[in-house]
Amino acid sequence: MAHTPAIDVNQYRVQNRRRIDLADWSTDDNGGMAKRDPAVGLLFDELNGRLEELQELLYADGRHKLLVVIQATDTGGKDGTIRHVFDGVNPQGVRVASFKRPTDDELAHDYLWRVHRHTPRNGEIVIFNRSHYEDVLVVRVHGLVSGKQWQRRYGHIRDFERLLTDEGTTIVKFFLHISKDEQKERLQARLDEPEKHWKFDVADLKERNHWDDYQTAFADMLAETGTSDAPWYVVPADRKWYRNLVISTVLVDTLAALDLRFPDAEAGLDAIEIN
Protein backbone atom coordinates (compact mmCIF):
# COMPACT_ATOMS: atom_id res chain seq x y z
CA MET A 1 0.00 0.00 0.00
CA ALA A 2 1.31 3.45 -0.90
CA HIS A 3 2.71 5.50 1.95
CA THR A 4 0.55 8.56 2.56
CA PRO A 5 2.81 11.64 2.64
CA ALA A 6 2.34 14.60 4.95
CA ILE A 7 2.87 18.32 4.49
CA ASP A 8 4.56 20.64 6.97
CA VAL A 9 2.25 23.63 6.58
CA ASN A 10 4.08 25.67 9.22
CA GLN A 11 6.72 26.56 6.63
CA TYR A 12 4.07 28.58 4.79
CA ARG A 13 2.78 30.43 7.83
CA VAL A 14 3.78 34.08 8.18
CA GLN A 15 5.34 34.80 11.55
CA ASN A 16 3.40 37.33 13.60
CA ARG A 17 3.95 40.89 12.35
CA ARG A 18 7.23 39.98 10.64
CA ARG A 19 8.26 41.84 7.47
CA ILE A 20 8.59 39.61 4.41
CA ASP A 21 9.66 39.82 0.78
CA LEU A 22 7.43 37.69 -1.42
CA ALA A 23 10.35 37.12 -3.77
CA ASP A 24 11.77 34.88 -1.03
CA TRP A 25 8.66 32.68 -0.98
CA SER A 26 8.34 29.90 -3.54
CA THR A 27 5.40 29.90 -5.92
CA ASP A 28 6.04 26.41 -7.35
CA ASP A 29 6.98 24.30 -4.33
CA ASN A 30 5.71 20.72 -4.51
CA GLY A 31 6.74 19.50 -1.07
CA GLY A 32 8.88 16.81 -2.66
CA MET A 33 5.76 15.20 -4.13
CA ALA A 34 4.68 14.32 -7.64
CA LYS A 35 1.19 15.03 -8.93
CA ARG A 36 0.75 11.57 -10.45
CA ASP A 37 2.01 9.67 -7.41
CA PRO A 38 -0.89 7.46 -6.21
CA ALA A 39 0.00 8.42 -2.64
CA VAL A 40 -0.73 12.06 -3.44
CA GLY A 41 -4.17 11.18 -4.73
CA LEU A 42 -4.75 9.10 -1.63
CA LEU A 43 -3.68 11.99 0.59
CA PHE A 44 -6.12 14.38 -1.05
CA ASP A 45 -8.97 11.86 -0.77
CA GLU A 46 -8.18 11.38 2.92
CA LEU A 47 -8.05 15.11 3.55
CA ASN A 48 -11.27 15.72 1.65
CA GLY A 49 -13.05 12.96 3.56
CA ARG A 50 -11.73 14.22 6.88
CA LEU A 51 -12.78 17.80 6.07
CA GLU A 52 -16.27 16.54 5.28
CA GLU A 53 -16.44 14.74 8.63
CA LEU A 54 -15.14 17.73 10.57
CA GLN A 55 -17.52 20.14 8.85
CA GLU A 56 -20.46 17.93 9.84
CA LEU A 57 -19.15 17.80 13.39
CA LEU A 58 -18.72 21.59 13.47
CA TYR A 59 -22.31 22.02 12.30
CA ALA A 60 -23.71 19.51 14.80
CA ASP A 61 -21.65 20.88 17.69
CA GLY A 62 -22.95 24.40 17.07
CA ARG A 63 -20.47 26.17 19.37
CA HIS A 64 -17.71 27.14 16.94
CA LYS A 65 -17.44 28.94 13.62
CA LEU A 66 -14.71 29.15 10.98
CA LEU A 67 -13.83 32.05 8.69
CA VAL A 68 -11.58 31.24 5.72
CA VAL A 69 -10.11 34.24 3.89
CA ILE A 70 -8.65 33.77 0.39
CA GLN A 71 -6.70 36.52 -1.36
CA ALA A 72 -4.70 36.36 -4.58
CA THR A 73 -3.74 38.23 -7.69
CA ASP A 74 -5.96 37.86 -10.77
CA THR A 75 -5.94 34.21 -11.98
CA GLY A 76 -4.50 33.23 -8.59
CA GLY A 77 -6.95 30.36 -8.25
CA LYS A 78 -9.48 31.50 -5.65
CA ASP A 79 -12.50 29.92 -7.36
CA GLY A 80 -10.65 26.70 -8.17
CA THR A 81 -9.46 26.39 -4.60
CA ILE A 82 -12.99 26.66 -3.25
CA ARG A 83 -14.36 24.24 -5.82
CA HIS A 84 -11.78 21.51 -5.21
CA VAL A 85 -10.97 21.83 -1.52
CA PHE A 86 -14.61 21.89 -0.46
CA ASP A 87 -15.77 19.26 -2.94
CA GLY A 88 -18.18 16.91 -1.18
CA VAL A 89 -18.61 19.09 1.91
CA ASN A 90 -22.27 19.57 2.89
CA PRO A 91 -23.32 22.98 1.51
CA GLN A 92 -25.82 23.35 4.33
CA GLY A 93 -23.01 24.40 6.65
CA VAL A 94 -20.69 26.18 4.20
CA ARG A 95 -21.22 29.58 2.61
CA VAL A 96 -19.10 31.58 0.15
CA ALA A 97 -19.10 35.38 0.26
CA SER A 98 -17.54 37.11 -2.75
CA PHE A 99 -16.56 40.77 -2.56
CA LYS A 100 -16.35 42.65 -5.83
CA ARG A 101 -16.49 46.36 -6.57
CA PRO A 102 -18.46 48.06 -3.75
CA THR A 103 -22.00 49.19 -4.49
CA ASP A 104 -23.14 52.76 -3.86
CA ASP A 105 -24.85 51.59 -0.67
CA GLU A 106 -21.67 49.89 0.54
CA LEU A 107 -19.59 52.96 -0.26
CA ALA A 108 -21.96 55.03 1.85
CA HIS A 109 -20.91 53.00 4.93
CA ASP A 110 -17.54 52.30 6.50
CA TYR A 111 -15.48 49.80 4.51
CA LEU A 112 -15.95 46.96 7.01
CA TRP A 113 -19.75 47.22 7.02
CA ARG A 114 -20.28 45.03 3.98
CA VAL A 115 -17.90 42.42 5.36
CA HIS A 116 -19.04 42.07 8.95
CA ARG A 117 -22.56 40.98 8.05
CA HIS A 118 -21.17 37.98 6.12
CA THR A 119 -19.11 36.53 8.97
CA PRO A 120 -20.05 33.00 10.08
CA ARG A 121 -22.67 32.04 12.61
CA ASN A 122 -22.23 29.17 15.05
CA GLY A 123 -21.66 25.85 13.31
CA GLU A 124 -20.87 27.47 9.97
CA ILE A 125 -17.85 27.78 7.69
CA VAL A 126 -17.75 30.97 5.64
CA ILE A 127 -15.24 31.45 2.84
CA PHE A 128 -14.34 35.00 1.83
CA ASN A 129 -13.47 35.07 -1.88
CA ARG A 130 -11.58 38.35 -1.66
CA SER A 131 -12.38 40.28 1.49
CA HIS A 132 -11.84 43.38 3.61
CA TYR A 133 -8.21 43.17 2.48
CA GLU A 134 -9.15 44.74 -0.85
CA ASP A 135 -9.26 47.97 1.16
CA VAL A 136 -5.51 47.89 1.74
CA LEU A 137 -4.70 46.50 -1.72
CA VAL A 138 -6.67 47.92 -4.65
CA VAL A 139 -7.27 51.27 -2.99
CA ARG A 140 -3.57 51.56 -2.27
CA VAL A 141 -2.28 50.54 -5.69
CA HIS A 142 -4.72 52.81 -7.51
CA GLY A 143 -4.51 55.72 -5.08
CA LEU A 144 -8.22 55.65 -4.27
CA VAL A 145 -7.58 56.78 -0.70
CA SER A 146 -4.68 58.58 0.93
CA GLY A 147 -1.65 56.75 2.26
CA LYS A 148 -2.57 57.80 5.79
CA GLN A 149 -6.03 56.29 5.34
CA TRP A 150 -5.02 52.84 4.07
CA GLN A 151 -2.20 52.60 6.60
CA ARG A 152 -4.70 53.18 9.44
CA ARG A 153 -6.74 50.28 8.15
CA TYR A 154 -4.18 47.69 9.20
CA GLY A 155 -5.00 48.51 12.80
CA HIS A 156 -8.74 48.48 12.06
CA ILE A 157 -8.45 45.03 10.52
CA ARG A 158 -6.40 43.60 13.38
CA ASP A 159 -8.99 44.91 15.83
CA PHE A 160 -11.88 43.62 13.70
CA GLU A 161 -10.40 40.14 13.50
CA ARG A 162 -9.59 40.19 17.20
CA LEU A 163 -13.24 41.00 17.90
CA LEU A 164 -14.29 38.01 15.82
CA THR A 165 -11.84 35.63 17.49
CA ASP A 166 -12.70 36.92 20.96
CA GLU A 167 -16.34 36.11 20.19
CA GLY A 168 -15.58 32.57 19.09
CA THR A 169 -14.65 32.70 15.40
CA THR A 170 -11.58 30.78 14.26
CA ILE A 171 -9.85 32.55 11.35
CA VAL A 172 -7.39 31.20 8.80
CA LYS A 173 -6.18 33.28 5.85
CA PHE A 174 -4.57 32.13 2.62
CA PHE A 175 -2.60 34.17 0.11
CA LEU A 176 -2.38 32.18 -3.13
CA HIS A 177 1.12 33.00 -4.34
CA ILE A 178 1.67 32.62 -8.09
CA SER A 179 4.48 33.86 -10.30
CA LYS A 180 4.10 36.50 -12.98
CA ASP A 181 4.95 33.88 -15.62
CA GLU A 182 2.22 31.59 -14.31
CA GLN A 183 -0.29 34.41 -14.44
CA LYS A 184 0.70 35.04 -18.06
CA GLU A 185 0.07 31.38 -18.93
CA ARG A 186 -3.32 31.36 -17.24
CA LEU A 187 -4.41 34.56 -18.95
CA GLN A 188 -3.23 33.23 -22.31
CA ALA A 189 -5.14 29.97 -21.74
CA ARG A 190 -8.32 31.96 -21.28
CA LEU A 191 -7.74 33.55 -24.67
CA ASP A 192 -6.71 30.35 -26.43
CA GLU A 193 -9.64 28.23 -25.25
CA PRO A 194 -13.08 29.51 -26.37
CA GLU A 195 -14.81 27.81 -23.46
CA LYS A 196 -12.72 29.96 -21.10
CA HIS A 197 -13.41 33.29 -22.80
CA TRP A 198 -16.05 34.08 -20.20
CA LYS A 199 -13.28 34.15 -17.59
CA PHE A 200 -11.18 36.70 -19.46
CA ASP A 201 -11.44 40.35 -18.49
CA VAL A 202 -9.38 42.99 -20.28
CA ALA A 203 -9.15 44.80 -16.95
CA ASP A 204 -6.92 41.94 -15.74
CA LEU A 205 -4.26 43.10 -18.20
CA LYS A 206 -4.36 46.60 -16.75
CA GLU A 207 -3.97 45.18 -13.25
CA ARG A 208 -1.04 43.08 -14.45
CA ASN A 209 0.80 46.31 -15.25
CA HIS A 210 0.78 47.00 -11.51
CA TRP A 211 2.33 43.62 -10.62
CA ASP A 212 5.24 44.98 -8.57
CA ASP A 213 3.01 47.43 -6.69
CA TYR A 214 0.64 44.62 -5.79
CA GLN A 215 3.48 42.39 -4.60
CA THR A 216 4.60 45.15 -2.24
CA ALA A 217 1.03 45.73 -1.05
CA PHE A 218 0.49 42.01 -0.46
CA ALA A 219 3.75 41.73 1.49
CA ASP A 220 2.78 44.65 3.74
CA MET A 221 -0.70 43.19 4.22
CA LEU A 222 0.75 39.85 5.31
CA ALA A 223 3.21 41.43 7.72
CA GLU A 224 0.80 43.92 9.25
CA THR A 225 -2.20 41.62 9.75
CA GLY A 226 -0.74 38.16 10.35
CA THR A 227 -1.40 37.44 14.03
CA SER A 228 -1.43 34.37 16.24
CA ASP A 229 -5.24 34.36 16.27
CA ALA A 230 -5.70 35.14 12.57
CA PRO A 231 -2.63 33.75 10.75
CA TRP A 232 -1.71 34.12 7.10
CA TYR A 233 -0.39 31.24 5.00
CA VAL A 234 1.54 32.05 1.81
CA VAL A 235 0.49 29.10 -0.31
CA PRO A 236 2.66 28.21 -3.33
CA ALA A 237 -0.03 28.18 -6.00
CA ASP A 238 1.63 27.66 -9.39
CA ARG A 239 0.83 23.96 -8.98
CA LYS A 240 -2.91 23.81 -8.37
CA TRP A 241 -2.87 20.29 -6.96
CA TYR A 242 -0.25 21.18 -4.34
CA ARG A 243 -2.08 24.39 -3.46
CA ASN A 244 -5.18 22.31 -2.72
CA LEU A 245 -3.22 19.88 -0.56
CA VAL A 246 -1.68 22.65 1.54
CA ILE A 247 -4.98 24.41 2.14
CA SER A 248 -6.83 21.17 2.88
CA THR A 249 -4.17 20.24 5.43
CA VAL A 250 -4.41 23.60 7.20
CA LEU A 251 -8.21 23.41 7.35
CA VAL A 252 -8.24 19.84 8.67
CA ASP A 253 -5.59 20.65 11.28
CA THR A 254 -7.46 23.80 12.33
CA LEU A 255 -10.82 22.08 12.75
CA ALA A 256 -9.30 19.03 14.43
CA ALA A 257 -7.74 21.31 17.06
CA LEU A 258 -11.14 22.62 18.14
CA ASP A 259 -13.09 20.97 20.95
CA LEU A 260 -15.73 19.58 18.60
CA ARG A 261 -18.18 16.95 19.71
CA PHE A 262 -21.64 15.75 18.83
CA PRO A 263 -24.33 16.93 21.25
CA ASP A 264 -25.60 14.46 23.81
CA ALA A 265 -28.38 12.26 22.52
CA GLU A 266 -31.86 12.65 23.90
CA ALA A 267 -32.48 10.38 26.89
CA GLY A 268 -34.32 7.14 26.22
CA LEU A 269 -33.45 6.71 22.56
CA ASP A 270 -32.12 3.19 23.21
CA ALA A 271 -35.59 2.08 24.28
CA ILE A 272 -37.36 3.31 21.17
CA GLU A 273 -38.49 0.67 18.70
CA ILE A 274 -39.86 1.76 15.33
CA ASN A 275 -42.68 -0.40 14.04
Q: How confident is the model at residue 117 (pLDDT cuts 50, 70, 90)?
A: very high
The chain-wide mean pLDDT, for the chain, equals 93
Mean pLDDT of 54-75: 96
Domains of the chain: 9-178+210-257 (3.40.50.300)
Mean pLDDT of 31-45: 94
State how far the Cα of 174 lies from the Cα of 128, in Å rounded to an integer.
Answer: 10
More confident residue, 204 or 40: 40
Mean pLDDT of 144-160: 97
pLDDT in tens, 220-237: 999 999 999 999 999 999
